[in-house]
């Protein structure tokens, strides 16, 4: 099948940029997962959905709002009550969930094309993200694996922390290039590398 | 002018010379100087001209409260006016100019205004120019004539019109404890909170942390106070849980402990580093706040108190100790409190002669007498300064015996030769943020000051902010505040020991010396004591009215030094105590804020915009793009030399003759899923969806709850419990909110999930007589013939190897199909369709052609579903199901909504064969000189290639009944008048034979 086209392409310039003479403090990349799926449980069916997520992905979700988990290949996090975003490097996740999540449990919505996943990593990742989102990015407030729903200007975003200084941001595909440009611009002062 | 830099001392780097200019004259200073200190060091005493009278003005203060020395800073073509010279850090290449003067600061022709002093009193402009109510100018526009000259003569600096190329940023921050102010109290609070493990932010508007330690001669723990501050700052710098923000003014305190701050990131640099912003706007959410914002020293109000060379006492102390600059060689002091004596000692030590200390108090403490003796100053106890002498610089002062109880002046005046007069009228705690946070300040009779109110939000005060003016108190309160703010418990601990000059913190209750001459209360707005009394005489009793009438406390300094003296004078005039007169509530911002920092980065290249998967193809293939909300869509794909009309006519014609393709990815798409999805859609739409078969689509109409039309679109049933709803591009967000509202609030029992999938799908609509042949040429995995893919049918197949979903529906009126693919495959499918269409003459068309074809078909869009039209108005009443209730059904039959004279959708044909205009009125009888009698208006118009005529859709009163009649367009704004024929909105193929094939 034809390769999916990235919405970032004309603005995706691999290499070091901005104030990088003293080293880069930000790494930016597009993770391009094969699958991005949204799962939503009917009220009272959340635990069954969480169990289905574990069955399909092997990832165990911690209790509590915004909890999440990632094994580097698959990721899952809650972004609203009873609602989860799941991503996988491989395609076909929606079909797998369609079997595991029965209509009695909830719904499966394939967003593999509709969301663009951008990873920001590095010692200044929290600093740069603080320019965009009114979210407390400090590790105790936003632990590894956890997810948040937020917005920058008119761009809705879901953010999962996938490392101590690494975040994966899921934005609407149509806004992705605009958001990417803003992210690059905001990273200029600390020096960034696009990988 | 004589150089006044001391040989030693100060916190400047004397090894580093900085070159800058002021009013075109080249100067040098040192790293660490402000523009004020560097110019003062060079002997400059004249810094500006006053607002109204254009009186010469010098430095009054050394900080953010400076009312006089406002300058304009030039950076290339960009000018930033009204910056206090005291807050401008010099750097190589700095260019600053004075303002509100012509032709020069030294020789300002508007200084003639001083002669009209009595006339130019409070309310002068209102009284003079709101009329004239009598005389020959009555009823004329005399005020307008005068305004031009007044605006030139009065005011502050002028803003530039050049585009500001600087880069501004917004930052969000969260912390456990925000400490505002980095004097001894703030530093101790930050340290104590950090020691508790709290996340701490420490902000100070100055570049150097330490507050008063930078200029006091005190010692802490046996070392100069500044050294203690440096050590403490170094400790804080080394901690991961502390963020230090120098040059950061916390300017707003909002609900839920949200504070706004402005960081001046690179104003002090010749060039910002790559990517570095000029300013950062910080939105800080703090669990707790420590307010350690210190206090402002107040001027005394006496004749000539605004002459260059008259300065606040602590400001002079600061210039001497922090910047190594003496404000004068022969210095006199005038005070109502003990703090000025400390300044006298500091200036004496720095090398100045202290010629006199006039103190309104007749009884002085032995300690103060000792200090005065140490300063070798002649003491004038029970005296007041009654006049100052000199022109653009001070040459002397006159003192006279003063009774501070009665205010009476007695005895002979005595002249004292001095080139600098330092005054101190007591201290006002800087309670602005606490006031903004929501409570009323409380008057303290002992301190003669408004002290911070009881906290209405989660803040704790410390140091001079609370009225505790000694460093030892500041340290103790700072530590306690820091601990409490971090949630720790106060335990006895050895505090740093302070050696300081002790004085009585309470001033004598004297604000004004009433003698002959102009005594200024508000230096920045030229408000005199007499203006305040005039306002009282004219009936202004409320402090709020006083402020507005006299403008006291307005402008860039917001009355930081003038508010309390002004109130005191008003209170005396009213015969009331100050607390009864009250004070105005401080509002944000505490200090001026750059608009750029508030706008931050959502404009120009960084404006959020939405692009379809085929955007780059459109641009590469010559499309003229325009914005549709945040989306960018092709208007036309113009050929060389084509006008817009020629292009869209060509595109529409080609579509009707062979085939056309248009990007419809922007249509709102909402996945409606769940066991109750069909039932939900029956409630949302006016027509029935539960009867729709899987694999079929249906056109649907939504009403608002009030019965008016809301949005339309097709919804596709992809599975028993799985629908794909499409909405208009413009209303996608509104429809989503509408659906979520009903599911969350009205019908939470329904098991339905709605998810925006607009971005999941790329959409291409291909229409025209040859559309089916084109699809047949490139689609695999399914047939596209009439049996397999009937009107409103849906099939799944592949194009160029990627999955697609095809629905046969039409907006153009031609046989048409919408081809949906995953957005990441959108361009792949689009290019495959274009390639397949080449033998058939397929053209890509833009929104203009799309609009043209929909007008020809009489389809409605947002121009007609404008929030005021009903389904009946738009002839969509056939969609109003009678078998079920739906949103809006209860209200849609209200009398007014079914009236016979409502505006109804019609078609118009221009009978003069000239273009029509959107928004033009329709009238029954034309009267170009007196346009009237509108019966409706045009909502959309075009040249119709199918009809060869200029046509329009319009909303016209009882429109349907007028079919076949004539009317006129009346468009006086665009001077377009002419006859039209009213026809059905279905201009083209009303039977739909082309669409249904």
At B965, is the secondary structure helix, strand, or coil? coil
Which of B756, B771, B796 terminates a domain? The answer is B756
Q: Which of A6, A133, A154 sits opposite B608 (nearest CB)?
A: A154
Give yes or no for a contact between A118 and A166, defined as CB atoms under 8 angstroms apart: no
Residue B436 sits in the same domain as residue B567 = no
Using CA atoms, how far residue A147 sits from A66, A85, A128, A132, A172, in Å, is 5, 9, 17, 16, 16
Question: In B621-707, which residue ranges form alpha helices assigned H by DSSP?
Answer: 644-657, 677-684
pLDDT over threshold 50, residue B712: yes
Q: Write the pLDDT tens digit of every residue in B296-318.
A: 999 999 999 999 999 999 999 99
At A16, is the secondary structure helix, strand, or coil? strand
Residue B397 sits in the same domain as residue B441 = no
Q: What is the pLDDT of residue A91?
A: 96
Interchain proximity B169–A131, CB inside 8 Å? yes
Report the pLDDT averaged over residues B345-360: 97
B509 CB-contact burial (10 Å; exposed 0-12 / middle 13-18 / buried 19+): middle
Domain hosting residue B814, numbered range: 615-666+760-853
Beta strand residue intervals within B531-620, DSSP E: none
Confidence of residue B605 (pLDDT cuts 50, 70, 90): confident
Interchain proximity B172–A2, CB inside 8 Å? no
Question: In B426-524, which residue ranges form alpha helices assigned H by DSSP?
Answer: 432-436, 471-485
Confidence of residue B914 (pLDDT cuts 50, 70, 90): very high
Closest-CA residue of A relative to B750 is: A42
Task: Determine the Cα–Cα distance for residues B425 and B428; give it in Å rounded to an integer.
Answer: 9
Which of B548, B563, B596 terminates a domain? The answer is B596
Give yes or no for a contact between B726 and B712, defined as CB atoms under 8 angstroms apart: no
Interchain proximity B275–A177, CB inside 8 Å? no
Residues of B in contact with A4 (CB under 8 A): 822, 824-825
Residue B641 sits in the same domain as residue B542 = no
Q: What's the distance, Cα to Cα, between the start and end of chain B in Å?
A: 95
Q: In this structure, what token pair is assigned to residue B527?
A: 């408000």
Q: Is A154 near chain B, with CB under 8 Å?
A: yes
Within 8 A by CB and 6+ apart from A64, the residues are none
Q: What is the pLDDT of residue B125?
A: 67
Interchain proximity A130–B801, CB inside 8 Å? no
Closest-CA residue of A relative to B755 is: A109
What CATH code is carried by the domain that includes residue B16?
A: 3.10.20.440
Q: Is A190 near chain B, with CB under 8 Å?
A: yes
pLDDT over threshold 80, residue B698: yes
pLDDT over threshold 50, residue B979: yes
Interchain proximity B283–A111, CB inside 8 Å? no
Closest-CA residue of A relative to B602 is: A153
Chain position carrying tokens 């529409």: B652
> How far is the alpha carbon of B114 from chain A, nearest alpha carbon, in Å?
50
Residue B402 lies in a domain: yes
Q: Which of these ranges, A50-59, A162-171, B28-37, B540-549, has the smallest mean pLDDT?
A: B540-549
Q: Give me the torsion for CA of A9, A15, A17, A22, rounded to 10°.
A: 160
Confidence of residue A1 (pLDDT cuts 50, 70, 90): confident
Residue B863 lies in a domain: no
What CATH code is carried by the domain that includes residue B686?
A: 3.30.70.1400
pLDDT over threshold 80, residue B46: yes
* Phi and psi torsions of B143, nearest 5°: -60, -45
Q: What is the pLDDT of residue A64?
A: 77
Residues of B in contact with A165 (CB under 8 A): none
Q: Is A12 near chain B, with CB under 8 Å?
A: no
Chain position carrying tokens 């505790």: B468
Give yes or no for a contact between B587 and B436, defined as CB atoms under 8 angstroms apart: yes
Residue B619 sits in the same domain as residue B739 = no
Does the structure's ipTM exceed the value 0.90?
yes
Q: Is A109 near chain B, with CB under 8 Å?
A: yes
- Angle (CA) B71 B76 B81, round 5°: 25
Q: Domains along chain A?
A: 13-32+114-194 (3.30.1360.120), 35-110 (3.30.70.1520)
Q: How many CA atoms lie within 13 A of A57 on its CB side?
A: 36
What CATH code is carried by the domain that includes residue B527?
A: 1.10.10
Task: Determine the Cα–Cα distance for residues B370 and B219; give it in Å rounded to an integer.
Answer: 20
Residue B866 lies in a domain: no
Interchain proximity B611–A109, CB inside 8 Å? no
Residues of B in contact with A155 (CB under 8 A): 608
Q: What is the pLDDT of residue B110?
A: 76
Q: What is the pLDDT of residue B674?
A: 98
Task: Determine the Cα–Cα distance for residues B523 and A146; give it in Å rounded to an integer.
Answer: 55
Residue B770 sits in the same domain as residue B833 = yes
Q: What is the pTM of this model?
A: 0.93
> How far is the alpha carbon of A175 from chain B, nearest alpha carbon, in Å?
5
Report the pLDDT averaged over residues A57-79: 93
For residue B820, whether the previous peptide bond is cis, meaning omega lies within 30 degrees of 0, is no
pLDDT over threshold 70, residue B901: yes
pLDDT over threshold 50, residue B650: yes
pLDDT over threshold 50, residue B389: yes
Within 8 A by CB and 6+ apart from B599, the residues are B168
Residue B198 sits in the same domain as residue B291 = yes
Residue B242 lies in a domain: yes
Q: Strands B200-203 and B48-49: what pairing?
A: unpaired
How high does pLDDT run on average in chain B?
94
DSSP 8-state class, residue B745? I
Interchain proximity B757–A114, CB inside 8 Å? yes
Which of B137, B162, B187 terminates a domain? The answer is B162
Q: How many CA atoms lie within 13 A of A154 on its CB side?
A: 14
> How far is the alpha carbon of A12 from chain B, nearest alpha carbon, in Å?
14
Residue B893 lies in a domain: no
Using CA atoms, how far residue B359 sits from A73, B89, B298, B309, B438, in Å, is 78, 35, 15, 19, 37
Which of B173, B279, B759 to mutate against chain A (most A CBs within 10 Å)? B759
Q: Which of B759, B762, B826 sits opposite A172 (nearest CB)?
A: B759
What CATH code is carried by the domain that includes residue B645?
A: 3.30.1360.120
Residue B661 sits in the same domain as residue B676 = no
How many domains, chain B?
7
> How far is the alpha carbon of A96 from chain B, nearest alpha carbon, in Å?
17
pLDDT over threshold 50, residue B69: yes
Q: Which of these ranges, A59-63, B212-216, B718-722, has the smallest mean pLDDT?
A: A59-63
* Phi and psi torsions of B176, nearest 5°: -80, -40
Residue B303 sits in the same domain as residue B286 = no
pLDDT over threshold 60, residue B689: yes
Residues 17-36 of A with CB under 8 A from B: 18-19
Q: What is the pLDDT of residue B1?
A: 43
> How far is the alpha carbon of B920 from chain A, nearest alpha carbon, in Å?
34
Q: Write the pLDDT tens digit of every residue in B757-780.
A: 999 999 999 999 999 999 999 999
Residue B541 sits in the same domain as residue B660 = no
At B655, is the secondary structure helix, strand, or coil? helix
Interchain proximity A173–B759, CB inside 8 Å? yes
Question: In B357-408, which residue ranges form alpha helices assigned H by DSSP?
Answer: 366-374
Report the pLDDT averaged over residues B830-852: 98
- Helices B313-323, B339-350: crossing angle, 10 deg rounding: 40
Residue B134 sits in the same domain as residue B184 = no
CA-based max dimension of chain A: 57
Q: Is A80 near chain B, with CB under 8 Å?
A: no
Residue B884 lies in a domain: no
Residue B772 lies in a domain: yes
pLDDT over threshold 90, residue B148: no
Residue B471 sits in the same domain as residue B579 = no
Closest CA to B43 of B55, B54, B31, B27: B27
Task: Determine the Cα–Cα distance for residues B179 and B463; give it in Å rounded to an integer.
Answer: 12
Element (H, E) at A87: strand A83-88
Residues of B in contact with A7 (CB under 8 A): 611, 613, 823
Sheet holding B659-663, edge to edge: B779-780, B794-799, B802-807, B816-822, B761-767, B659-663, B842-844
Q: Write the pLDDT tens digit of every residue in B494-543.
A: 999 999 998 999 999 999 999 999 999 999 999 999 999 999 999 988 88
Interchain proximity B275–A187, CB inside 8 Å? yes
Residue B413 sits in the same domain as residue B321 = yes
Across B960-988, b (16+ Cβ under 10 Å) vs e yields eebeeeebbbbbeeeebbbebbbbebbbb
Closest-CA residue of B relative to A190 is: B275
Report the pLDDT averaged over residues B51-66: 94
Report the pLDDT averaged over residues B552-557: 87
Q: Is the dihedral of CA B49, B54, B56, B57 positive or negative?
A: negative
What percent of chain B stands above pLDDT 90? 85
How high does pLDDT run on average in chain A?
96
Residue B737 lies in a domain: yes
What percent of chain B stands above pLDDT 70? 98
Q: What is the pLDDT of residue B128?
A: 65
What CATH code is carried by the domain that includes residue B355?
A: 3.50.50.60
Taking phi over 0 as left and psi of -120 to 50 as alpha, with beta for the rest, B468 belongs to: beta
Count A/B contacts: CB-CB distance under 8 Å: 140
Element (H, E) at B703: strand B697-703
Closest-CA residue of A relative to B798 is: A1
pLDDT over threshold 50, residue B902: yes
pLDDT over threshold 70, residue B131: no
Q: Is A78 near chain B, with CB under 8 Å?
A: no
At B876, is the secondary structure helix, strand, or coil? coil
For residue B430, whether the previous peptide bond is cis, meaning omega lies within 30 degrees of 0, is no
- Angle (CA) A55 A57 A63, round 5°: 80
Give yes or no for a contact between B970 and B922, defined as CB atoms under 8 angstroms apart: yes
Q: What is the pLDDT of residue B133?
A: 67
Q: Which of B674, B757, B824 sits opposite A5 (nearest CB)?
A: B824
Element (H, E) at B697: strand B697-703
């Amino acid at each position: 099948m034809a390769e999916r086209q990235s919405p970032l392409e004309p603005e995706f310039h691999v290499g070091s940029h901005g104030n990088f003479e003293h080293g880069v403090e930000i790494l930016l990349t597009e993770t391009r997962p094969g699958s991005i799926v949204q799962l939503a449980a009917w009220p009272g069916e959340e635990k069954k959905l969480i169990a289905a997520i574990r069955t399909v992905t092997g990832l165990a979700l911690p209790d509590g709002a915004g909890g999440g988990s990632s094994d580097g290949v698959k990721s899952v996090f809650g972004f609203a009550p009873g609602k989860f975003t799941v991503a996988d490097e491989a395609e076909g996740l929606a079909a797998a969930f369609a079997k595991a999540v029965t209509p009695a449990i909830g719904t499966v919505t394939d967003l593999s094309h509709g969301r663009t996943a951008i990873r920001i990593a590095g010692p200044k990742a929290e600093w740069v993200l603080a320019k965009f989102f009114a979210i407390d990015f400090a590790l105790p407030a936003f632990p590894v694996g956890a997810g948040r729903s937020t917005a920058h200007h008119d761009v809705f975003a879901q953010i999962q922390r996938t490392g101590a200084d690494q975040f994966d941001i899921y934005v609407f595909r149509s806004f992705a290039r605009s958001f990417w440009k803003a992210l690059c611009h905001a990273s200029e002062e600390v020096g960034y590398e696009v990988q | 002018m004589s150089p006044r830099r001391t040989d030693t001392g100060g916190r400047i780097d004397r090894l580093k010379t900085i070159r800058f200019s002021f009013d075109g004259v080249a100067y040098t200073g040192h790293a660490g100087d402000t523009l004020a200190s560097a110019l003062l060091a060079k002997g400059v005493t004249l810094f500006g001209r006053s607002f109204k009278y254009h009186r010469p003005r010098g430095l009054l203060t050394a900080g953010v409260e400076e009312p006089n020395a406002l300058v304009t800073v030039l950076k290339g073509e960009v000018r930033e006016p009204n910056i206090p010279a005291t807050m401008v850090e010099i750097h190589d290449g700095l260019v600053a100019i004075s303002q509100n003067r012509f032709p020069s600061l030294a020789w300002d022709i508007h200084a003639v205004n001083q002669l009209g002093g009595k006339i130019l009193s409070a309310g002068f402009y209102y009284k003079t120019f709101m009329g004239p109510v009598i005389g020959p100018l009555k009823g004329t526009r005399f005020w307008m004539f005068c305004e031009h000259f007044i605006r030139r003569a009065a005011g502050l600096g002028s803003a530039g019109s050049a585009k500001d190329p600087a880069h501004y940023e917004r930052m969000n921050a969260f912390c456990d404890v925000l400490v505002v102010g980095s004097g001894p109290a703030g530093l101790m609070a930050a340290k104590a909170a950090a020691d508790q493990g709290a996340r701490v932010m420490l902000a100070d508007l100055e570049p150097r942390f330490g507050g008063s330690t930078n200029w006091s001669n005190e010692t802490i723990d046996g070392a100069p106070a500044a050294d203690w501050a440096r050590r403490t700052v170094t400790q804080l710098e080394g901690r991961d849980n502390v963020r230090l923000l120098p040059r950061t003014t916390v300017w707003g305190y909002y609900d839920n402990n949200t504070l706004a701050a402005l960081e001046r990131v690179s104003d002090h640099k010749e060039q910002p580093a790559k990517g570095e912003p000029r300013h950062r706007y910080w939105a800080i959410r703090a669990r707790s706040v420590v307010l350690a914002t210190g206090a402002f020293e107040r001027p005394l109000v006496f004749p000539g108190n605004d002459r260059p060379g008259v300065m606040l006492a602590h400001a002079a102390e600061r210039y001497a100790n922090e910047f190594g600059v003496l404000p004068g060689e022969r210095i006199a002091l005038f005070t109502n409190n003990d703090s000025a004596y400390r300044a006298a000692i500091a200036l004496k030590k720095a090398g100045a002669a202290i010629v006199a200390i006039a103190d309104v108090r007749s009884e002085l403490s032995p300690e103060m007498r000792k200090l005065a003796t140490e300063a070798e100053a002649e003491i004038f106890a029970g005296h007041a300064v009654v006049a100052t002498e000199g022109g653009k610089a001070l040459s002397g002062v006159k003192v006279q015996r003063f009774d501070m109880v009665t205010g009476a002046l007695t005895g002979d005046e005595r002249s004292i030769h001095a080139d600098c007069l330092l005054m101190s009228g007591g201290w006002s705690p800087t309670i602005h943020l606490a006031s903004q946070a929501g409570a009323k300040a409380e008057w303290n009779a002992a301190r003669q000051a408004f002290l911070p109110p009881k906290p209405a939000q989660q803040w704790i005060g410390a140091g001079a902010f609370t009225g505790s003016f000694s460093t030892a108190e500041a340290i103790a309160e700072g530590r306690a505040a820091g601990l409490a703010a971090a949630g720790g418990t106060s335990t006895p601990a050895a505090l740093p020991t302070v050696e300081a000059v002790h004085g009585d913190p309470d001033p004598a209750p004297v604000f004004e010396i009433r003698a002959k001459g102009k005594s200024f209360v508000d230096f920045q707005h030229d408000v005199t004591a007499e203006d305040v009394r005039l306002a009282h005489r004219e009936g202004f009793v409320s402090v709020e009215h006083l402020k507005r009438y006299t403008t006291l406390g307005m402008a860039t300094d917001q009355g930081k030094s003038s508010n309390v003296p002004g109130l005191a004078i008003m209170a005396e005039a009213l015969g009331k105590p100050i607390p009864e007169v009250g004070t105005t509530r401080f509002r944000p911002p505490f200090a001026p804020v750059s608009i750029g920092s508030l706008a931050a980065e959502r404009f120009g290249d960084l404006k959020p915009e939405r692009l379809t998967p085929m955007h780059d193809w459109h641009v590469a293939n010559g499309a003229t793009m325009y914005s549709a909300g945040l989306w960018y869509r092709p208007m036309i794909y113009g050929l060389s030399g084509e006008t817009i009309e020629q292009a869209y006519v060509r595109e529409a014609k080609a579509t009707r003759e062979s085939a056309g393709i248009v990007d419809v990815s922007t249509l709102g798409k909402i996945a409606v899923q769940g066991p109750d999805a069909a039932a939900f859609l029956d409630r949302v739409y006016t027509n029935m969806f539960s009867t729709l078969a899987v694999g079929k689509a249906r056109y649907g109409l939504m009403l608002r709850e009030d019965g008016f039309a809301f949005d339309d679109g097709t919804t596709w049933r992809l599975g028993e419990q799985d629908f794909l709803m499409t909405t208009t591009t413009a209303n996608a967000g509104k429809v989503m909110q509408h659906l979520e509202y009903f599911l969350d609030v009205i019908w939470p029992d329904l098991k339905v999930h709605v998810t925006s999938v607009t971005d999941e799908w790329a959409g291409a609509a291909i229409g025209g007589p040859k559309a089916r042949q084109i699809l047949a040429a490139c689609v695999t995995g399914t047939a596209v013939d009439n049996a397999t893919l009937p009107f409103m049918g849906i099939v799944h197949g592949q194009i160029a190897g990627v999955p697609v979903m095809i629905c046969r529906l039409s907006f153009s009126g031609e046989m048409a199909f919408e081809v949906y693919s995953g957005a990441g495959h959108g361009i792949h499918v689009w290019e495959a369709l274009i390639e397949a269409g080449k033998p058939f003459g397929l053209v890509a068309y833009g929104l203009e052609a799309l609009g043209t074809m929909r007008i020809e078909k009489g389809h409605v869009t947002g121009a007609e579903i404008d929030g005021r039209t009903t389904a009946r108005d738009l002839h969509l009443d056939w969609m109003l199901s009678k078998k079920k209730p739906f949103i809006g059904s209860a209200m849609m039959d209200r009398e007014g909504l079914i009236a016979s004279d409502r505006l109804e959708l019609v078609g118009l044909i221009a009978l003069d064969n000239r273009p029509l205009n959107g928004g033009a009125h329709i009238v029954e009888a034309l009267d170009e000189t007196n346009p009237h009698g509108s019966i409706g208006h045009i909502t959309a118009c075009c040249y119709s290639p199918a009809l060869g005529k200029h046509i329009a859709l319009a909303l016209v009163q009882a429109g349907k009944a007028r079919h076949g009649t004539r009317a006129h367009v009346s468009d006086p704004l665009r001077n377009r008048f002419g006859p039209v024929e009213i026809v059905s909105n279905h201009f083209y193929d009303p039977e739909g034979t082309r669409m249904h094939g």
